[in-house]
Structure 1
Amino acid sequence: MSIQHAFTNDDDEHRLPLNPPGTRNISHLDGPLTSAIEHENEFAQVLELASTLYHGPARTNPSQGLTELQAIAHLRRALDAAEAVILTDSIELVAHAAAEYTADTTSTAPAGETEKQRDQRISAHYYGVDPASDQIITSSFVAEAAVALRETVEKTRSKLFTAKGLRYLCPETLNALSRGLITTKAAQEMVKQAQDLAPEDIRRMEHSLLPVAKTASDASFSQRARRLHRKLDPVSAADRHESAKEARCVTVWDEPDGMAALKLYAPAQDVYSIYNTVKYFAQQDVDPDDTRTQAQRHADILRDALLDGWPTTNGTPLKPRVVVTIPAVEALVNPRRGLADLEGYGPIPMGVALKLAQDAPSMVRVLTDPWTGAAIDVGRAKYRPSAALKDLLLVRDQCCRFPG
């Protein structure tokens, strides 16, 4: 198993409120006029951007180069949107053709059937394969599309998942992507967070998040999308967390050159406590002659801790710091459905946050906006704000302020 496939991916189109295959509308079946209009929408932006880049003058200054780079980024996003439409329309055409061609018996031959089609029909009947099955259509189409795109089957299947979500559930997101207004990563996140939601909640999510996606970084947008999804999901955050805990595990996979990787899947507060503890020890009493990088020290300390025990702390047990922001209003109104924020991770169930607060050796009061959740002020006993200001920035700035 390679490292890129080691982490679980729970994207599943069955968790999206999609109509059955073969029943979804595509422009080609609505007539030539509708098809021509949609074709114009798909490729007009691509043509305009490509033409601007091709016919533009030779660059003479860095500013012009930056403008061209921005146009290329918009062009890439427009192509991703067009690719999504082509993927979904093509597989729907396959589904329609399969439904029309399927024969109930081997003795009934459709008009104009070729010898190759006859062999396929007889083989399908013999092995009990339904050519119109969604599973058969999807697996066959994904394999063919992967060859055409020169990508892996897993990556192509992931693209098809996003494409179906954009095409049939998030049309405004698809439109924004085709115009280059949002990143492809933001569009993928929108579809990912549409899972388990009703169509009306997905529209509400689009309306709320698209303005954010046009300016925010992908990491910041992802956190906002996850938080909104958990507010809209009918299953409470506490119930989802308890269900997810059942899947906790440790996974190992091989890497080249005599190396291997280890993954711990566990509650976020435990994982971040472990990580913060490793970082703490890596920063203590660093030998000036130690030539190891910070990453290497992290790996060595974790290895030593698991195999030889934690380094000595002169009898003082370590209290690893985990920063949790708990909205007081949500904690009082509905603690089971409320969400808090774990620094570095994002939203966690309110019950987990309150348990962390109960065991915390100290607390810092943070004033947050009740609507946006943005940190406004950090409580302090003195006017000199140096330490409090650091805490405020730590809690407020979850993502880098620089664009992207």
Structure 2
Amino acid sequence: MPIAIAAPPQTGSESSNRSPFAIAQDGLAGLVDAAVQARRLEAMQAAMRVDVINLAVDYAMRSADAFTAPSLSPERRREVARRAVIAELATALRIPERTMTRLVSESWTLANQLPVTLAALRLGDIDESHARVVIDETGDVADGSVRARLDLELVERAATMTAASLRRAARRLRETLQAESLEERHAHALAERRIELEPARDGMAWLHLHLPASDALLIRNRLDRVAADVTGETGEVSAVADARTPDQLRADVARDLLLHGVPPIGEAFHVAAATVRPTVHVTVPVLTLLGLDDAPADLEGYGPIDPEMARRLAAQAPSFTRILTHPVSGTVLDVDRTTYRPPADLARWLRVRDETCRFPGCNRRAARCELDHTEGWADLGSTSFDNLAHLCPYHHHLKHESSWSVRHLEHGTLEWRSPAGRQYVTGPSVRIPARAAPDPTRTERPDPVDPARSRGGRPPKTPPF
């Protein structure tokens, strides 16, 4: 059913006194609100489906005597009744039984183990993709109290996150709550490493490798760097002229290495591949590195890793950059700069802090983004951790060329304001604790207009129209 959006009535004087931007903002805000309400209704319908599926399965199992052969044992009757109702639902909804089995399992989990998530879904506060993240990230948590804590905290975070961002946050949160050490759980997971083949359309297939995160990230980064070198994205002269896209190059290089041992596309390409050294950042608490603590480290692009892997990477792998944090405050010293271009040490730390583009909902890796001065350098903004953030090229342009605006809050948090007047807050991947006292070596650029001007953020921009 179409939704009609009616603008509030205005008198002639009210209309004439309002700017074109204010009028346009109100109209856009009404349409965005309508889209949000439509998404909320979808979430509420998903919750209704969860309730109906649970009722149907429960009813079939309670009525197992009527739906199964009398010669079966009571336990077998319940199992067959469950299979029968799954087949019934799959046939009625025209979806595969395997998909229906997953929906039945998820519905039971929400109803019996994740009451906060189900309640939020019923209210439309989260959508189905957020609920699936909570299900996935709590599925192997045996401790009921830990699962309840995750249920509560992940729903709170889901209110301001995309499902992809929530999944990254969930991985970090669950590592801080589980009693079994990350090293023990990694050892169990390592035993399940494998390769899976997934058929796709048009004569294609996916090849999945389940292996340690550190190996996976090094492989991906090596493919990224080789592809960038060939296409000239690194800013240097391309080693080999090639018309393929970076995605095609990464796939072809991986295929050739697995099939032939080398990428057979020319001598120059072999040289480029041999000289590329991928880099991954691993943030290690210094006491963990010294073996005095077992606090997890953080692998860029993945999340928490066990202490033993962190020590090995920090000590032996030249392709990993160690970023040591203070054992008490976690602060990084000497972060303020008075030059436009951030120095290498500051840029590395900001890349780890942000992990992705800092625009709401964008998950493009920080390594492929640009460092942006929140308060422009020309507007006397400083080159410091509390005035810099990663933006992908698309959102970098959007910030400067549209009425989207942003200001820096404490600890690397950004507050965005949209053209429709809505506010969004994005937090850093790794939080920088506030300094206990001012740094006496810190210097400021003089402000000839107002020496008392705050550096906490830039004011909202004047709309460009």
Report the TM-score when normalising by structure 1.
Answer: 0.70
Give per-residue Cα distances to partners, 1:263-315, cap 9 Å, x unaligned: 22211111111111111111124358532111111112222323142543379
Q: Are the equivalent residues in 2 in contact too, given 1:95–1:132 (CA < 8 A)?
A: no
Letter of the 2:60 partner, please give it.
Answer: V
Secondary structure of the residue that 1:365 maps to in structure 2? strand
Matched, 1:62 2:41: no
Answer whether contact 1:366 1:379 (CA < 8 A) is retained.
Answer: no
The answer to whether the 8 Å contact 2:284/2:323 transfers is no
Work out whether residues 367 and 378 of structure 1, in 8 Å CA contact, stay in contact via their aligned partners in 2.
Answer: no
Any idea what SS the aligned residue of 2:229 has? Answer: coil
Counterpart pick for 1:401 among 343, 346, 358: 358
SS in 2 for 1:403: coil
Which of 273, 295, 309 pairs up with 2:262? 309
Unaligned 5+ segments in structure 1 are: 1-49, 103-116
Q: C-alpha offsets along residues 348-389 of structure 1, whole Å, 9 cap, x if unaligned?
A: 222112111111337443548979xxx864777987533234
1:232 aligns with 2:158: no
How far the C-alpha of 1:131 sits from its partner, in A, is 7.1
Match of 1:35 in 2: none
Instruction: Identify if the C-alpha distance between structure 1 residues 272 and 234 changes in structure 2 by more than 3 Å, giving closer, same or farther.
Output: same
Greater mean deviation of Cα atoms: 76-85 or 158-167: 158-167
Contact residue 145 and residue 156 of structure 1 kept, 8 A: yes
Equivalent in 224, 228, 241 of residue 279 of structure 1: 224
Q: Among residues 151, 171, 174, which one is paired with 1:206 in the alignment?
A: 151
What secondary structure is seen at the aligned counterpart in 2 of 1:151?
A: coil
Q: Percent identity, aligned pairs only?
A: 27
1:121 to 62, 69, 72: 69
Q: How does 1:236-385 map to 2 (within 5 A)?
A: 236-286=181-231, 290-306=242-258, 307-309=260-262, 311-313=269-271, 318-328=276-286, 335=293, 338-361=295-318, 363-365=321-323, 367=325, 377=332, 385=342
SS of aligned partner of 1:67: helix
1:330 positional shift = 5.8
CA 348–55 in structure 1, closer or farther in 2 if over 3 Å, else same = same
**Separation in 2 of the partners of 1:351 and 1:333?**
9
State whether residues 378 and 391 of structure 1, in contact with CA within 8 Å, keep that contact through their aligned partners in structure 2: no
**Structure (1 or 2) with the greater helix fraction:** 1
Letter in 1 for 2:38: I
Kept in 1: contact 2:289–2:310 (CA 8 A): no
Q: Distance in 2 between matches of 1:253 and 1:319?
A: 30
279-288 or 314-323, which moves further after superposition? Answer: 314-323
Question: Aligned to 2:106, which of 162, 167, 177?
Answer: 162
1:92 aligns with 2:58: yes
TM-superposed CA distance for 1:259, in Å, is: 3.0
What SS is found at the alignment partner of 2:270?
coil
Q: Secondary structure at the match of 1:281?
A: helix
Give the counterpart letter for 1:320 in structure 2: P
Equivalent in the alignment of 2:48 = 82
> Does the 8 A contact of 2:280 with 2:321 survive in 1?
no
* AA in 1 matched with 2:309: V
Q: What is residue 105 of structure 1 aligned with on the other side?
A: none
The alignment of Structure 1 onto Structure 2 pairs a total of residues equal to 327
Aligned-pair CA distance for 1:174: 1.2
Amino acid corresponding to residue 173 of structure 1 in structure 2: T
Distance 2:99 2:134 in 1: 18
* Pairwise CA distance, 1:55: 7.2
- Equivalent residue, structure 2, for 1:183: 127
The range that moved more, 164-173 or 388-397, is 388-397
Compute the RMSD of aligned alpha carbons.
3.4
Partner letter of residue 351 of structure 1? Answer: E
TM-score, scaled to structure 2: 0.62
> What is the distance in 1 between the residues matched to 2:245 and 2:75?
56
Q: How many Å separate the matches in 2 of 1:314 and 1:208? A: 46
Question: Closer, same or farther in 2 for the Cα pair 1:332/1:201, shift >3 Å?
Answer: farther
Counterparts of 2:167 and 2:99 in 1: how far apart (Å)? 20
Structure 2 unpaired stretches of 5+: 9-23, 232-237, 264-268, 362-465
TM-aligned CA distance change 1:283 to 1:69, over 3 Å: same
Residue 222 in structure 1 maps to residue 167 in structure 2: yes
Q: CA deviation at 1:57?
A: 4.3
Amino acid at match of 1:298: R
Match of residue 192, structure 1, among 112, 119, 136: 136
Q: Distance in 1 between matches of 2:118 and 2:79?
A: 25
CA distance in 2, matches of 1:302, 1:221: 30
CA distance in 2, matches of 1:201, 1:330: 24
Q: Distance in 1 between matches of 2:87 and 2:303?
A: 36
Q: Is the 8 A contact 1:364 1:379 kept in 2?
A: no
| Aligned-partner SS, 1:251 | strand
Q: Return the letter of the residue paired with 1:121.
A: A
Question: CA 1:74–1:366 in structure 2 vs 1: closer, same or farther (change >3 Å)?
Answer: farther
Counterpart of 1:40? none
* Letter in structure 1 aligned against 2:87: A
Contact between 1:255 and 1:261, CA under 8 Å: does it hold in 2?
yes
